[in-house]
Each structure stands twice: as C-alpha cells, then as structure tokens.
Structure 1
Amino acid sequence: MSENATNAPVPSTFVFLHEVATLASGTKVRFLGCIVQYDSARSRILLEHAFPKDISPVPSIWVEITLILETTDSTTLAIGTWINVIGYVQATPQLIRRKSGERIPRAAQLQAVLIWDAGAVRIGEYENTLIELMRTEPQLAPTGL
C-alpha cells in the first residue's frame, strides 16, 4: 500500500443539477434541488432546479434515499423543500420516446448518502456563487463538461 494512500472518503464535486446527467456512473456529487415528487413506495424523491433559466425541459433527477430514510426528518422530504444532496451518480439518462414521437431525456438517477434542508436559500445567490466558484477553481468543476 502506498504511503500516500488514505481511507478518507472521496470528496464530492459541486455541480448544478442539470450537470449530473453528463457525469459517469459512480461520480460523487453535491448539488441543490427542489423536491417536486416523493415516491414512498420506491424510497426516492424527484428533484428539479430550473438552471440555466432558459433550459427546457426543467432538469430533474431521481434521488434514491433508502440508505438515509431512517435518519431523515419527514419535513425535509416535503414537496417544495429545497435540499442539499451528496451522493453517487447511479445511471445516466437515455432518451425516451413519447407517443407524439418526441424524444426527451429520462431523469438521471443518484444514490444519496446525505441530504439536508437548504433552509431559506437565495437561489440566485447560490447559482452566482457556484458559477464563480467553478470559474475561480476549475478543479472543482465536474469533469466531462
């Protein structure tokens, strides 16, 4: 074993929710999203974050919460709650075809290892801060973008 080896967990990479779909399975990420659906039967939540503002459709991601469900307060899982998520990309989305023939991306999937309520977050300030962080510290930007 190398002298420099460590048993510390791999750090997460700050990303915007829409960037998760571009990352390889197994990538550890941290992002902010708003709960729009809670699927209690499958222990997962659907998050959205309309950033960039002109993006359509609104980016979404299914977050599997089985590992953290017992330690998560029920108010954190309320529809409309903005939450911080740290987790691992499970699958990248493929296009699905609607009855109209239109092809749209299926939501990305992520295994959460930690979520917490973002509180009274100012979304615009968060977006600007993350953009600036990625600009000034390129090593924090997700790879593959």
Structure 2
Amino acid sequence: MQNGPIPTTLTLLSELRKFPPGSKVRFLGCVTKYSTKTAVLTLEHNHPPGNMLQAQVDVNLLVTTMKSHETQIGEWVNVMGYVTPQQSNTQAGQERLTVNIQAIVLWSSASFNLQAYEKSLDHRSNGEADENNEGE
C-alpha cells in the first residue's frame, strides 16, 4: 500500500511509450505545435537521432497559469504529468508515433545544456538496464 502521491519518473521523451497509462513521468521536449482549440501541445525531442515519437500534452489544467512563451514553436519545456491511454489515430499517412500525456506541471527549461541532459539520462537508462540484467 502506498501512502502519498505516486513517484515521478524522469525519462527521455523517446522512452515514454514504455510507461503504462497512469504512470507519472517528467520529461523535456521542444514545442512543435500548439492547438488553442484543444489546449494540446505537441512536443518532440530527436534523441536518440531518428526518434519518431511525439508527446501530445494536454494542458487544459494549466491554461490559466501558463505563460505565452511556453506554447511557442521551438520552446523547450519540462513536463510533469500522467501517461493517458492512446486514442485511435485515424490520420492517413501518420509517420510519427504518439504518446498522450495529461500535464499537471509545465515550465520553460530556460537556458540549459541539451547534450548534458541527454548524456545524463542515457547513462541512467543504461545503468538501469545493467542493474535489471544482473539478476537474470
């Protein structure tokens, strides 16, 4: 039995599909699209190179507190939220995979070192994989 909120897992955007619905995650992404009609941000992060995953981030809970620059194309933002079930995508020719996120917190990344962030999470991911394989 767990007391208190479920823990948040820091992850790369490319790893989001590994988490089941209801998982609480934190990740970084670059805004590539924002729909004012649906209040959904599309975030991408091409790491590892060739990553085709997009995060469709529902920000309806945050629209009254978000700053306008946090929805601008090219802005890097941190997101904390919950993985939500995938909805069927009927768009023909859809090249990218998507994962849906219900954001509970979103903030601008401001100035940061992208390569250091990627290296840190790559190292963490590789370390976890090594630890998980030790018992096999």
Fold shared, TM-score > 0.5 on shorter chain: yes
Are 1:112 and 2:121 an aligned pair? no
Structure-1 separation of matches of 2:37 and 2:88: 23
Quick one: which of 42, 48, 51 aligns to 2:47?
51
Corresponding residue number in structure 1 for 2:18 = 22
Are 1:74 and 2:68 an aligned pair? yes
TM-score (norm 2): 0.82
Residues 105 and 92 (structure 1), Cα distance of their counterparts in 2 relative to 1, 3 Å cut: farther
Structure 2 unmatched runs, 5+? 132-136
Residues 28 and 95 (structure 1), Cα distance of their counterparts in 2 relative to 1, 3 Å cut: same
Stretches of 4+ aligned residues off by more than 6 angstroms: 93-97
Q: 8 Å contact 1:37–1:79 — kept in the other structure?
A: yes
Structure-2 separation of matches of 1:95 and 1:44: 15
Quick one: which of 56, 65, 77 aligns to 1:62?
56
Q: 8 Å contact 2:29–2:45 — kept in the other structure?
A: yes
SS of equivalent to 1:126: helix
TM-score (norm 1): 0.78
SS of equivalent to 1:130: helix
SS of equivalent to 2:42: strand
SS of equivalent to 1:38: strand
SS of equivalent to 2:122: helix
CA RMSD across the alignment: 2.5
